[in-house]
Amino acid sequence: MASGTPRLDRDLVFSSVAGYRPLALDLHRPEGPGPFPVVLFVHGGGWMVGSRRTFCFFPASETFGRLVAEGWAVVSVDYRLSGEAVFPAPLDDLRAALRWVIAEASTHDLDSDAIAVWGESAGGQLAALLALDPDTAIRAAVDWYGPSDLADVPPAPTPAGPPSREARLLGVEPLADPDATRAASPLHHVHTGAPPFLLAHGLDDQAIPHRHSERLAAALRDASVDVELQLVPGAGHIWSGLDDSAVVMNPAVAFLHRIFDTLRR
C-alpha cells in the first residue's frame, strides 16, 4: 500500500466538444514516485444526474482514498448527461478520458499499460461498454449493478417524470429502436479477448435486477473471458441496506490487485 498524503488535482479538462460544456476529471494519486496503475471511475445517476465527486454512498476514505492507499491513481470523470446529449455521447466522452490518460501518463506518473475502468449503475453500463470496445486499452473492468440489456430494465419513475431514463439516454424508448438499444447494451458487445470483469450486484436490487449481472457474466464466460460475479444478499441498488463497504470493496480491490500485479510482472 502507498503511504503519505494523497495528491488531488481537481477540474482537469480532458474534452471540449463544440456546443457543450468542457468535461473535467479529478485525479487522485498516491505520494511518491510512479508510474501508478490507473482506475478510471465512472459515476452513476441514471445518465441524468451525478458527478465525478461521488462514489455511491460510501465515505470518500473508503472509496477514492482506499484505492489510492492501495497504490493506484484514480481518474474520476464526468460525461455528458442525457439532458445534454444522447448516446453514444457519454461513451465517446469516456473514450476521450481514456485517451487523456494515455496521452498525459508521463506528465502525471500514470501507467498507461495498467488501466482499469470501474463504474456503478449507469456508470457500470458505460464502463462495461468501454471495456468491450475493440482493441481497448482497458485491462480490467469493475461493473457494480450496471444494466447489461437496456431492453430489460423495469419501468421506474424519474425525478423529471416521463420518459424513462433509458429513453432519455437513447433519445427513444428502448423497445421502439432495437438497434439503438443493442448498441447501448453491454450484453450485445461481449467478445472473446475482452479484458477481465468483476460484476457485483445486490440480490435485493429492484432498480436493476441482479439478472443483468448474471446474464452478462454468463455471456462473458461463454466467450472465455475471465469474469468474477459477486451477488450480495440483502443489498439493493447503490448498495442500500449494506452496512459495511468492505463487503463489496474488498473483493473489487482483490480483483484489481490480481490483474495489476499480473500486468506488472
Report the candidate in 134, 135, 112 with the shortest Cα–Cα distance to residue 40.
112
Q: Write the Ramachandran bin of 227: left for phi over 0, alpha for psi from -120 to 50, otherwise beta.
A: beta
Considering the candidates 121, 148, 213, 245, report the single residue annotated as catalytic: 121
Active site residue 237: yes
User: How do 73-77 and 110-120 pair as beta strands?
Assistant: unpaired
Active site residue 191: no
Q: What are residue 199's DSSP bridge partners? A: 143, 229
Q: Write the Ramachandran bin of 201: left for phi over 0, alpha for psi from -120 to 50, otherwise beta.
A: beta
CA dist 159 and 154 (Å) reads: 16
What DSSP letter does each residue of 153-176 carry, written as one string?
Answer: PPP---TT-SS-HHHHHHTS-GGG
CA dist 189 and 6 (Å) reads: 36
Angle at 123 between CA 93 and CA 172, to 5 degrees: 75
Considering the candidates 164, 210, 237, 245, report the single residue annotated as catalytic: 237
Considering the candidates 93, 111, 149, 205, report the single residue annotated as catalytic: 205
Residue 233 CB neighbours (<10 A): 10
CA dist 27 and 48 (Å) reads: 23
Q: Write the Ramachandran bin of 215: left for phi over 0, alpha for psi from -120 to 50, otherwise beta.
A: alpha
CA dist 131 and 191 (Å) reads: 11
Active-site residues, by number, are 121, 205, 237
